[in-house]
Amino acid sequence: MIKMLKTFISFALLLGFFTQVSASDLYVFVSDTQLKDAKGNIAKLFLGVRVEVKNEKGESIVAGVKGFQDGLNVYSSKEKELLIATLDKSFNVSKKTGTEVELIGLVEKENLTKDAPEVWEEHEEFYFEMCTQCHAAAKVSHHTMIEWEALFGAMRGFAKLDDEESAYLLRYLKSNASNGLIKKEH
């Protein structure tokens, strides 16, 4: 019985390790991370973007990013609510249907994380610092991206945020919205 228990524990630990190593989704942890296609053309990925691991290549991974293209910009939705990538003119894009695309290329592992909340830790602190001076902070995932844009537009002046701070905070709100990049349990 003890031997069987040890075998089971060993198997469970090995399975846990394997699951962590072969994570299928990672998140961009470093702003302006580059995704390079087979010819070296670049797509700039923005903070918090989810990438699907296709394969590992040393210090890089072959990753896929799905979105909706409008010119050289790729958005998280058809409604263009959140910019997730900007493309070099020659970047090789895989078309799905209509404007839906997949970007495939190499990304440096050091720019990615498995822990989506880790991406937004500083942003979350800034949100609570700025948005609790006058009222209680709303749970970010209770609103959609478009609702956050409207709410934020009305509150920006009260918080006295400059353009850079506004972009920083609005990206956090939209990314963590109910229809944002980060899917959370409600």
CB atoms within 10 A of CB 33: 21
DSSP class of residue 103 equals E
| One domain, residues 59 and 103 | yes
Give me the mean pLDDT over the 149-175 stretch. Answer: 93
| One domain, residues 96 and 152 | no
9 in a structural domain: no
What CATH number is attached to the domain comprising 152? 1.10.760
| One domain, residues 82 and 144 | no
pLDDT tens column, 17-67: 333 434 589 999 998 899 999 999 999 999 999 999 999 999 999 999 999
| One domain, residues 125 and 77 | no
| One domain, residues 140 and 75 | no
Angle between helices 145-159 and 163-175 in degrees, nearest 10: 150
pLDDT of residue 32: 87
Residue where a domain terminates, one of 113, 131, 159: 113
- Cβ atoms of 104 and 54 within 8 Å: the answer is yes
Q: How much is the pTM?
A: 0.81
How far does the chain reach from its first CA to its final CA, in angstroms?
Answer: 41
pLDDT tens column, 96-153: 888 999 999 999 999 999 998 899 999 999 999 999 888 898 999 999 999 999 999 8
pLDDT of residue 6: 42
Stated as kind and residue range, the H or E segment containing 33 is strand 33-36
Alpha-carbon gap, residue 63 to 40, rounded angstroms: 14
Give me the mean pLDDT over the 73-98 stretch. Answer: 93
Confidence of residue 2 (pLDDT cuts 50, 70, 90): low
